[in-house]
Structure 1
């Protein structure tokens, strides 16, 4: 299937790996951006957050990051200040963000990516790394 898909990926993250596997299970080879090595620019990051329908604060990753040490829990910080912190410390960017012609999602959980991929692209079961079934034998989402 031909579809322009970009994933902002961290190969050390299970959710990110599962999301990438789901995209590939749809027969799509996405553009993979390892955002820790190649972070997005300010406008690109702000656009991803907006496109996903999130606030900047909702797009920040706290666990395993310098979030607390940087004082980012301060509610008086502006979106611009939070974006600056995310750009200076890309580990603060929650992952994985996925962009397709059907929309943008922060794919947490990984099956959130199904909302922006063609439903008819899936031709069989899909099981996450942890054994959780996401798609049944017909390629339909398990709810």
Structure 2
């Protein structure tokens, strides 16, 4: 089964997830958000598989720099913000078949083994 890891190469959580997968012999394709930003359809798919609250990184510097908390955005505006600023997406996002995992958690990543 094809595993895809979406994120930014220098992100600590992405590095940990990639290292975990490699150490367990899981082959994957890495997609760099900065070089290949996710489409609206991809973001909506991830939200359907998880939730907007899980996918939107409200603890990151981009969220704080843009002052999004104070703007009281609706869901569509949050999706638009993630399209314009992929670093607003919590990383990594890992896809394998119908499974979508957001963030780094070794216990959750066990499902890929």
Q: TM-score range by the shorter chain?
A: 0.7 to 0.9
* More helix, by proportion: 2
After superposition, residues 102-113 of structure 1 pair within 5 angstroms as: 103-113=99-109
2:61 is aligned, of 60, 64, 80, to 64
Identify unmatched segments of 5+ residues in structure 2: none
Distance in 2 between residues matched to 1:73 and 1:33, nearest whole Å = 28
Q: Quick check: 1:83 aligned with 2:79?
A: yes
TM-score, length basis structure 1:
0.68
Q: Which residue of 2 aligns with 1:98?
A: 94
Distance in 2 between residues matched to 1:30 and 1:68, nearest whole Å = 31
Q: Quick check: 1:22 aligned with 2:20?
A: yes
Contact 1:57 1:82 in 2 (8 A): no
1:11 is aligned, of 9, 13, 20, to 9
Q: Which residue of 1 aligns with 2:110?
A: 114
Contact 2:6 2:31 in 1 (8 A): yes
Q: Which residue of 2 aligns with 1:130?
A: none
Cα RMSD (Å): 2.0
Which of the pair has the greater relative contact order for Cα pairs under 8 Å at 6+ separation? 2
TM-score, length basis structure 2:
0.84
* Higher radius of gyration, 1 or 2: 1
Aligned residues: 112
